[in-house]
Amino acid sequence: MLSDRISRLFSRIDEGKRLIDQYRPLSNSIVSHLRDRFLVEWTYNSNAIEGNTLTLKETRMVLEDGITIGKKPLKDHLEAINHKEAIVFIEELASQKDPITERNIREIHAISNHLPPDPLIVPELMANFTNERLLNPTGHPIEQAARAHFDLVSIHPFVDGNGRTARLIMNLILLKHGYFPTIILKNDRKKYYDALEKGRQKNNVDDFIFLTGRALERTIYLYLEVIPEIKTHFLTLSEAAKLSPYSQDYLGILARRGSIPAFKLKRNWVITQEALQRYVHDQKNQK
């Protein structure tokens, strides 16, 4: 059973996804802008977590301009190029109705890793993983994606590239469910590894599911910021306070706790009038 904080996080994400889906199909300029940004940020952060020395700017230069960065290892350049190709590949897989297979995992690893793919050394565990996490998953799509990532890195089927492959598989699952890519930031590297370690030692992956959800919520923010119609759909907390029995400060506390489906646009918390009314209604019914 998921904790309250995870359930509230999933509700916020689903509310954000619902809002974005209302304005689909998005304009070509918005889609192109976001895709270019995700290709670079996703590649940079995923590789940086594994020790790649290219900066965000250098990664963009390699991917968009084909420039070789002096004094940086060839391996780091290849990791960036290959990771971008892997993203393109999972986008193609996500557009298909076929289930994700063990072969897909091998293919993704082979593309994203700069070394030749290694044979799976734990076939029984991988067979169970494919059956439980890919063919017969249960729970919210974010939970499915996080658990698939956790299980794959725990099995550690490849000599190298397990983390990159797991993060790609995680996003493939999210994309297949109509969600958006979640990018684990380099700055969250310690939290990321701590959550994985806690999951292994205490057999409790709640922290890792929560971290995955928070990363996805950041992507939701990016979408909300660039869709003009959505900006006008929100109330600031100051405006929300005038339409509810709560003060702006109290609404701010609820927003930071994740108790209301509020989002940050730039630096300001905002909420839709519908979400605010639902919260007020639910609170009255609980009394």
> Which residues form the catalytic set?
156
Distance between CA atoms of 60 and 37, rounded to whole angstroms?
A: 9
Nearest Cα to Cα of residue 149 among 137, 93, 159: 137
Quickly count: other Cβ atoms within 10 Å of residue 133's Cβ: 21
- Biggest alpha carbon–alpha carbon distance for the chain: 66
DSSP string for residues in the chain: ---HHHHHHHHHHHHHHHHHHHTPSPPHHHHHHHHHHHHHHHHHHHHHHTT----HHHHHIIIII-PPPTTS-HHHHHHHHHHHHHHHHHHHHHTS-SPP-HHHHHHHHHHH-SSPPPPPS-HHHHHHHIIIIIIS--S-HHHHHHHHHHHHHHH--SSS-HHHHHHHHHHHHHHHTT-------GGGHHHHHHHHHHHHHHS--HHHHHHHHHHHHHHHHHHHHH-HHHHTTEEEHHHHHHTSSS-HHHHHHHHHHT-S--EEETTEEEEEHHHHHHHHHHHHHH-
